[in-house]
Structure 1
Amino acid sequence: MSRRTRRHIAPFVTAAGTAGAVLLLAGPAAAHVRVIGDVIPGKPATLQFRVPSELADATTVRVVVAVPSDISVTSVPALDGWTEKTVTGSAGKSSQVAWTAEPGHEIEPAASQTFTVKVGPVPDRYSLTFDTEQTYSNGTIAAWNQEQTGKKEPEFPAPVLVINPEASPAPGEAADSPKSGTGESAAPPSVAAKPADTAADEDEGSSMGLPLAIGAGIAAIGAAAAVWAARRRRGGGASAS
């Protein structure tokens, strides 16, 4: 977790330990900021950012999305009850898009809002990451900017849009990122394990092996006893004559 993220989510931690304090709404881990879009490398795309309001006693009043330098924002469709501002970076490209709620249009607890951005041709690469800041009416800021470095999703994951799943992930891009355009987790890589039927066969073989070994041992002892008895009889007969 970055230092910036720790500072921003500190109100969540400290408030939860006080009586009548801010509490996170109960819900599945999937209730995070997500980016959705049907993208084709080299083609323009329409991206949608789904932002849920996860605090129980505060509303979402502002959303800021950082725009990767790989793409350009062509337009931001108007959203009723929200004012939009696009910030242009030094290279002439949009560096971030910010939406601020007008009174009475905040995102209520347990509700969500979708923010749309149209971008120019998307690059032919594995994925794009959109760090996002969500500001609540009580001053709490949730920084959705944590990278996923393994199969387990972090507490505040950055929205990731996979463009070309067949491309090799760049350094810092997790191969377990969400699938392109769906916001769903990609299937985990296969684990080297024995098939169930093979394991069952091995268990059956091992369970049968012990009785077979015991039976073979008894048979060997019996055969040895028979040989010894036969030799003794032959020896006894010779002394009697």
Structure 2
Amino acid sequence: MSRTHVIRRSAVLLGAVGATSLLTTGIAAAHVTANVYGEQPEKGGYGAIVLRVPNEEAEAGTNKIEMTIPNEYAISSARTTPVPGWTAEVTTTTLPNPVRNGRGTDVTEVATKITWTAQPGNEIAAGTTSYEEFAFTAGPLPGTVDTLMLPVTQTYSNGTVANWDAPPPAEGAEEPENPAPVVELAAESGNGHGGGDQPDTADIAVSQDDTARWLGGAGVAVGALGLGVGAGALLRSRKAAKPTS
């Protein structure tokens, strides 16, 4: 095999591995999603959820996020994890008629919205490569549904508004263009997980940090592997091209 051919092959391999590394570290989804870092929230318990919001406007950044909590979920408590450069506000509403929560108690005051607002200069950057995560806990979670649907309104600095509020599609149907974030609820286990007191929001931040470290480490490892493979191929090509005495 010629030296030129080996070098070209090594360059292609390095490029492919580099692209894999970028895919590994570029975790921002195309839609607003609700994620769980850890064990799945249970019906009747408290859940720790992370809202991931990617920016999708080339010339404007995201400066406001409003997440709606449907009244029928009867979630009476919600807390947020601080996000640097953003303020958070939990809106509660007094209902005219009581609703039954996930623990069988009738309540009239429920959490209905969480609003995150960027302070000047701290919006999610313009373009399609930036995102931010907003963590919160909520509960008691409803016991009569299998999936939480949490519609989100995303506002950009140029006034553009994106509504992520379409319900999940029926089985076999195409995904809607602007799906609402959803969270699957696990059945109540009876062992105390997800059914006790509200979890500390600091635990969410630790999980986010661990996930980011893992993803960053994976990207570095993949990149280093590619460099090692490419360097090995180059050395072999030099040895093969060296004239024999």
Normalised to the residue count of structure 2, the TM-score between the two structures is 0.53
Larger Rg: 1
Higher relative contact order (CA 8 A, sep 6+): 2
Q: Give the root-mean-square deviation of aligned CA atoms.
A: 2.3
How far is the alpha carbon of 1:60 from its aligned partner? Answer: 0.2
Q: Is 1:73–1:117's contact at 8 Å kept on the other side of the alignment?
A: no
Give distance in 1, aligned partners of 2:131 and 2:141: 26
- The answer as to 2:75 corresponding to 1:80 is no
Match of 1:163 in 2: 185
Deviation at 1:79, TM superposition (A): 1.4
Q: Deviations over 1:192-237 (max 9, x none)?
A: xxxxxxxxxxxxxxxxxxxxxxxxxxxxxxxxxxxxxxxxxxxxxx
- 1:105 is paired with a residue whose SS is coil
- Alignment equivalent of 2:134, drawn from 91, 96, 115: 115
Q: Distance in 1 between matches of 2:81 and 2:187?
A: 28
- Aligned CA distance change for structure 1 residues 45 and 148 (closer, same or farther; 3 Å): closer
| Aligned mates of 1:64, 1:34 — CA distance in 2 | 13
Structure 1 alignment gaps of length 5 or more = 1-26, 167-241
Report the 3-state secondary structure (helix = DSSP H, G, I; strand = E; otherwise coil) of the residue aligned with 1:49: strand
Q: Which runs of 5+ in 2 are unaligned?
A: 1-25, 96-108, 189-245
> What is the deviation of 1:89?
1.0
Please say if 1:49 is aligned against 2:68: no
- Structure 1 segments, 4+ long, off by >6 Å, are none
- Which has the larger strand fraction? 2
Letter in 1 for 2:33: R
In the other structure, the counterpart of 1:102 is 119
Kept after mapping to 1: 8 A contact 2:28/2:131: no
User: Deviation of residue 149 (structure 1)?
Assistant: 2.9
Q: Determine if contact 2:79/2:90 at 8 Å carries over to the other structure.
A: no
Name the amino acid aligned to 2:34: V
2:156 to 120, 123, 136: 136
Tell me how many residue pairs correspond in the alignment: 140
Identity of aligned residues (%): 36
Question: Partners of 1:164 and 1:46 in 2: how far apart?
Answer: 13
